[in-house]
Amino acid sequence: MSKVNIFTRGFFKENAVFVMLLGLCPALGTTTSAINGLAMGLATTFVLIMSNIVVSLIKSQIPDKVRIPAYIVVIASFVTVVELTMKAYLPELFAVLGLFIPLIVVNCLILGRAEAFASKNNVFDSILDGLGMGLGFAMALTILGAVREVLGSGSIFDIPLYEGDGALVFVLAPGAFIALGYLIAILNKLTKKTA
């Protein structure tokens, strides 16, 4: 597989949110705005890249019996770094996302990439995979957050787009499911036309 394919497949072909439906807890819970979606996506990307690097480096040292618990410890270490950094330097963002940051540890995307890719490939390819999958995840969360923010609040990245009230449902939990469903349908329609 080429380096370009390793990097780009996380954006469309194997997008965690729109195609594989992984990591839906943060996708639905944190995307009330584009800023929240972007922040959660970037935090997850950092954890994904760093855990892929470490797993790729120590893969031969981990016995098969404790492989998954060892990966979880590696992932949890980087999640702690993200949580403490965000708490110290971005307290307002942490107040919004704080509950969901520890849940990055159990994000199927990160553990799946550690198991399926980083444990079988070299460090450079693991970095490319983590970067591509992470940025694809961040893109999906940002798009979902932007759609919900535009329809629910009438703004994007806190910049007002129109006067008046939006549809409150898009700011609430049901709006996340509605917006995600429509975005998946649109993406499926577009990819079927070009395939």
pLDDT in tens, 148-162: 999 998 899 988 888
Mean pLDDT across 120-133:
94
Looking up tokens 């949890």 gives 76
- Reported as a single tens digit per residue, the pLDDT across 2-17 is 777 888 888 888 898 9
What pLDDT score was predicted for residue 81? 96
Percent of residues, the chain, with pLDDT higher than 90? 65
Q: Does residue 141 contact residue 27 with C-beta atoms inside 8 Å?
A: yes
Q: How confident is the model at residue 1 (pLDDT cuts 50, 70, 90)?
A: low
Mean pLDDT across 11-29:
87
Most confident of 21-30, 50-59, 106-115: 50-59
For residue 195, pLDDT over 70 is answered with: no
pTM, to two decimals: 0.91
CA 125 to chain centroid, in Å, comes to 19
Burial 106-138 (b: 16+ CB within 10 A, else e): ebebbbebbeebbbebeeebbbbbbbbbbbbbb
